[in-house]
Amino acid sequence: MLIPWRYRKRENSFIQSFDPRAWLIFYICFLFSALAFWDMRFLLPFFAGALFVLFTSGVKWHEIRRAFLFIVGFVFFFAVLTFLTGRGGVEHYTEEHLIHRFQASFSILGWVPALDITVERIVYALSQFLRVGSMAIMTILIPYSLNPALYGITFKGLGLNDKFAYAMDLTMRFIPTFARDFQLTVDAQRARGYELEKFSGGLIEQVRKMGPIFVPVVIHAIIGSEDIIDAMDLRAFGIGPRTWIDVLERKRRDRILIRFGVALLVISLALGILGYGGFWVPEAFLQLAGG
Amino acid sequence: MPNLPLVVENLSFRYRDRQETAIRNISFEAKPGDVLLIAGASGCGKTTLIRCINGLIPRSYKGEMTGSVRVFGEDTSTWKLAQISQKIGTVLQDPERQILGTKVLNEVAFGLENLGLPREEILERVDEALRLLKIFHLRERETFTLSGGEKQKVALAGVLAMRPSILLLDEPLASLDPASALDALDTARFLADQGMTILMVEHRVEDVLRIQPERVMFMSGGEIRYLGSLSGLSKVVNYREVKLRAEEIVERAKQDPPPAEIRILPGAAGKGESEALVKFEDVAFGYESDVEVLHGINLEIRRGDVIAVLGPNGAGKTTFVKHAIGLLKPKKGRVLVNGRDTREASVAQIASTLGYVFQSPSHMLFAPTVREELSFGPKNLHHSKEQIEQEVKEALRIVNLSDKEQDPPLALSFGQQKRVSIAAILAMQSRILVMDEPTAGQDYQNYMNFMDSILQLPSFEAILFITHDVDLAVIYANRVLIVNDGRLIADGKPQDVLRDFDQLKANRLVPTSLLALNLERFPATGRFMRAEALAHI
């Protein structure tokens, strides 16, 4: 059986005060708008907006702690990685202002390992964190805030046909179901003396050793899908246009949100095309490198 | 002859990827208001027959099909599945596999939405189905929060809302506690009395007999071995194949030699039977920080114990036993296995002492052959090659799968997969065995045989099993626990715990004919016994 995300109706939740279709349209506009910028001055309002939505969502910290720490950790890791390697930002800046160089006291075949701390790398890492962080926050809130019983009608309302709308509904619920089955399989194999923690050998050997986990999880997912198809077939799914008993109502505030989202996107894209919002290094930061 | 709801004539089917036919020359008819019980061992063709009738064969499951299925005089072979589903409703074995909706309302409305009925009519029919099954109060509940019995009723409501004339129930009692099973049976009887034709596939024959099915079909090897009235069934089937009422078994077993005496846990004898192998000290647990699901459990599993854990669906039985192997750690109190706190040992370390058979085999099977599957656990525990060879062979013998050693476990039937999962733990040669519903989905003969064998194994010093089958506790346990609402309600000898019918009822347990007979004869026997043994007292 497919299990839903941990949704519940929350009091005074900003995100839940909107029609789910309106929120999804706004969310998509927000995502593409944030993608249009690398300038911290433009990205900061997006990050602040995402934090506002987070703090007014009514979602408790203990509910999202694990997912949130994972995603923030992931974003932070890549921002730091980009910073250390200096890769990723090279298409945005051609010149770097050195603050400090850490150089190894040894060489490998004539190459001396060194780490350059430059103004551009720091600013790029910060911009990347703001950009991806704001998108991640907005994304993480969706499963906790949108009523799973309304997934199907929401996607239908966004213009998908019946089959695709229901398929999207099932897909949204497949993710937490997959996570539950994964945990059950890990438990079942640990009860047979299998220790995930004690993996050794090369990469291929380690992947091979994951077989006892991956095979049951994948097979279970396939069998589960077949069961779902049988259950749908046995109740006449797909024979023609279907009725959706849930009804969504678009209110004034929903229309305002959609207009705001679309306007945000249009302005962001226009600014991008006009050359605004590109990578920007604050003057004060350049002082760190001695001007 | 008026057009009957269902007429099956000379029906045979062979799955595309199999050599042998799954069912052969099946012919029968069913009248309005009939309950037809279909019984038989695992793999006898019951589910294939159901799939032929509801149209999944040959539309979803391909193969060679001959013969006909006629519904109200019309051959369904040219019908679309949607057309069949309006006449024939199917409730699958596990309601979890059937429920699609997130909320009860959406689930029950699903079929009607697909038919494109007006919204008002859908809501009207949904409410009608929910009221009919007396579950209107569940209308706004989320489906994943329902108990097993509630899920079954919701799945049934989803089918009934489509107003079928024929209802197919595939092992509807398999995952239900005894009281929920009785509810489900009463519902089936009620629907039949309203004029619906009901075909019920079920292993728990004795339970179904309570609602007096009009006819019984007994299948074997893909063919009908018996089709007729209830009274004739016990004369044609072996009482070891089908679970009949205890009185009938006693009558028939009198003609046979007495059954061999089972020596339970021979490995525990003479080793100091009072030693605590597992100790629960005031254990409390909750999956979420603010909701406790186990409350203050105090318990010792001692050498020589064969413990049956009974209780309703969702009572916390699985949560409780998962603490014994350290998969869950208590929020309060502690669990000691061999004197060691489970917080300080890995699950793998505990697994060498305590083997745990999960409820669902599909979460653990992965290897290309049954043999490799069974070797996995012992290898992890660093047993020697020779030892593993011997352990695998012995485990296969016990679960009656020696001929499947080279088969892929994932290609076996559900019942066989379940036995592979039990054998996989047996091969690890742990000292304590814990099994979560070992007999669910198994046919009577098979599960009685492997339970007999497991209990006589010299390697085990204690066994604990979770079950909904009160008779399993009567026959095999020397200690019974009742768990309800995360609490230990009763803990004692079977003859003491199972004697209190009020307590059984309060915990959704139903006394069986075997329990009643044992209690009646207890002054003479001094212990609980299986019906075959009672025949010779």
Confidence grade of residue B260 (pLDDT, cut at 50, 70, 90):
confident
Confidence grade of residue A174 (pLDDT, cut at 50, 70, 90):
confident
Structural contact between residues B11 and B57, judged by C-beta atoms closer than 8 angstroms: no
Residue in B with minimal Cα distance to A63: B288
Does residue B201 carry a pLDDT above 90? Answer: yes
According to DSSP H, which parts of B304-369 are helical? Answer: 317-324, 347-351
- The answer to whether A6 contacts chain B (CB < 8 Å) is no
pLDDT value at position A198? 67
- The answer to whether A200 contacts chain B (CB < 8 Å) is no
- The answer to whether A196 contacts chain B (CB < 8 Å) is no
Asked if the Cβ–Cβ distance from A233 to B362 is below 8 Å, we say no
Asked if the Cβ–Cβ distance from A220 to B363 is below 8 Å, we say yes
Task: Give contacts of A163 with chain B, Cβ < 8 Å.
Answer: none
Sort B194 into a burial class: Cβ within 10 Å, 0-12 / 13-18 / 19+: exposed
Nearest to A4 among B102, B119, B348 (CB): B102
Task: Give contacts of B423 with chain A, Cβ < 8 Å.
Answer: none
How far is it, in rounded angstroms, from Cα B114 to Cα B117? 8
Structural contact between residues B259 and B294, judged by C-beta atoms closer than 8 angstroms: no
The end-to-end CA distance of chain B, in Å, is 52
- The answer to whether B97 contacts chain A (CB < 8 Å) is yes
Reported as type and span, the H/E element at residue B122 is: helix B119-132
Closest CA–CA distance from residue B77 to any residue of chain A (Å) = 15
Nearest to B96 among A1, A4, A189 (CB): A1
Mean pLDDT, chain A, integer: 88
Closest CA–CA distance from residue B62 to any residue of chain A (Å) = 13
Helices A20-35 and A252-273 cross at an angle (nearest 10°) of 10
What mean pLDDT do residues B367-396 have? 94
Residue in B with minimal Cα distance to A163: B114
Asked if the Cβ–Cβ distance from A192 to B380 is below 8 Å, we say yes
- The answer to whether B122 contacts chain A (CB < 8 Å) is yes
Mean pLDDT, chain B, integer: 91
Question: Which structure tokens are listed for B159?
Answer: 């089918």
- The answer to whether A63 contacts chain B (CB < 8 Å) is no
Task: Give contacts of A2 with chain B, Cβ < 8 Å.
Answer: 100
- Give which of A153, A207, A235, A244 to mutate to test B binding, by max B Cβ within 10 Å: A235
pLDDT per position as a tens digit, B325-372? 999 999 999 999 989 999 999 898 899 899 999 888 888 999 999 999
- The answer to whether A9 contacts chain B (CB < 8 Å) is no
Asked if the Cβ–Cβ distance from A245 to B117 is below 8 Å, we say no
Structural contact between residues B154 and B120, judged by C-beta atoms closer than 8 angstroms: no
How far is it, in rounded angstroms, from Cα B269 to Cα B38? 43
Q: What is the largest CA-CA distance in chain B?
A: 74
Task: Please enumerate in sequence order all residues whose Cβ is within 8 A of that of B182, keeping only pairs 6 or more positions apart, or say none.
Answer: B207, B210, B510
- The answer to whether B366 contacts chain A (CB < 8 Å) is yes
Asked if the Cβ–Cβ distance from A195 to B348 is below 8 Å, we say yes
pLDDT per position as a tens digit, B57-79? 998 889 999 999 999 999 999 99
Q: Which residue(s) pair with B482 in the sheet?
A: B310, B490
B55 vs B148, more confident: B55
Nearest to A245 among B119, B347, B363 (CB): B119
Task: Give contacts of B322 with chain A, Cβ < 8 Å.
Answer: 187
Does residue B384 carry a pLDDT above 90? Answer: yes
* Residue B169, helix vs strand vs coil: strand
Task: Give contacts of B425 with chain A, Cβ < 8 Å.
Answer: 191-192
pLDDT value at position B180? 85
CA distances from B471 to B99, B451, B484, B500, B512 (A): 30, 12, 19, 15, 7
pLDDT value at position B413? 77
Bond before B58 cis per omega within 30 degrees: yes
Q: How many Cβ atoms from other residues are within 10 Å of residue B3's Cβ?
A: 10
pLDDT value at position B24? 96
Asked if the Cβ–Cβ distance from A192 to B428 is below 8 Å, we say yes
How far is it, in rounded angstroms, from Cα B334 to Cα B285? 10
- The answer to whether B109 contacts chain A (CB < 8 Å) is yes
Closest CA–CA distance from residue A16 to any residue of chain B (Å) = 18
Q: Which amino acid is at B436?
A: D
Task: Please enumerate in sequence order all residues whose Cβ is within 8 A of that of B347, keeping only pairs 6 or more positions apart, or say none.
Answer: A187, A190, A191, B325, B326, B327
Does residue B1 carry a pLDDT above 80? Answer: no
How far is it, in rounded angstroms, from Cα B437 to Cα B148? 14
Residue in B with minimal Cα distance to A172: B102
Question: Which structure tokens are listed for B455?
Answer: 């209990």
Does residue A200 carry a pLDDT above 70? Answer: no
Residue in B with minimal Cα distance to A195: B348
Residues 346-365 of B with CB under 8 A from A: 346-348, 351-352, 355-356, 358, 360, 362-365
pLDDT per position as a tens digit, A10-63? 888 999 999 999 999 999 999 999 999 999 999 999 999 999 999 999 998 888
Does residue B266 carry a pLDDT above 60? Answer: yes
Buried b (16+ CB within 10 A) or exposed e, B58-89: beebebebebebbbeeeebeebebbbbbbbbb
Nearest-5° Cα angle at A30, A24 to A34: 150
B204 vs B470, more confident: B470
Q: How many Cβ atoms from other residues are within 10 Å of residue A14's Cβ?
A: 16
Residue in B with minimal Cα distance to A192: B377
Reported as type and span, the H/E element at residue A129 is: helix A119-145
pLDDT per position as a tens digit, B273-288? 677 899 999 999 998 7
Nearest to A237 among B114, B142, B347 (CB): B114
Q: How many CB pairs under 8 A join A and B?
A: 160
Asked if the Cβ–Cβ distance from B111 to A245 is below 8 Å, we say no
The domain locations on chain A are: 15-288
Nearest to A191 among B80, B111, B347 (CB): B347
A246 vs B440, more confident: A246
Complex ipTM, two decimals?
A: 0.82
Task: Give contacts of B158 with chain A, Cβ < 8 Å.
Answer: 235
- Give which of B362, B369, B372, B421 to mutate to test A binding, by max A Cβ within 10 Å: B362
Residues 41-80 of B with CB under 8 A from A: 54, 56, 59-60, 80
Asked if the Cβ–Cβ distance from B352 to A193 is below 8 Å, we say yes
Handedness of CA B253, B254, B257, B260 (dihedral sign): positive
- The answer to whether B327 contacts chain A (CB < 8 Å) is yes
Asked if the Cβ–Cβ distance from B85 to A191 is below 8 Å, we say no
Percent of chain A with pLDDT over 90: 47
Asked if the Cβ–Cβ distance from A238 to B113 is below 8 Å, we say no
Question: Which structure tokens are listed for A45?
Answer: 């309002």
Closest CA–CA distance from residue A262 to any residue of chain B (Å) = 31
Task: Give contacts of A196 with chain B, Cβ < 8 Å.
Answer: none
Task: Give contacts of A233 with chain B, Cβ < 8 Å.
Answer: 56, 59-60, 81, 85
How far is it, in rounded angstroms, from Cα A236 to Cα A256? 39
Confidence grade of residue A201 (pLDDT, cut at 50, 70, 90):
low
Confidence grade of residue B205 (pLDDT, cut at 50, 70, 90):
confident
Asked if the Cβ–Cβ distance from A235 to B54 is below 8 Å, we say no
What mean pLDDT do residues B24-32 have? 96
Does residue A190 carry a pLDDT above 80? Answer: yes
Reported as type and span, the H/E element at residue A47 is: helix A40-55
Does residue B411 carry a pLDDT above 90? Answer: no
Residues 230-269 of A with CB under 8 A from B: 230-247
Q: What's CA A83's distance to the chain center, in Å?
A: 21
Sheet holding B306-310, edge to edge: B354-357, B432-436, B462-466, B306-310, B479-484, B487-492
Q: Picking from A286-290, B3-7, B143-147, B526-530, which range would have the lowest pLDDT averaged per residue?
A: A286-290
Q: Do you know the residue count of chain A?
A: 291
Does residue B152 carry a pLDDT above 90? Answer: no
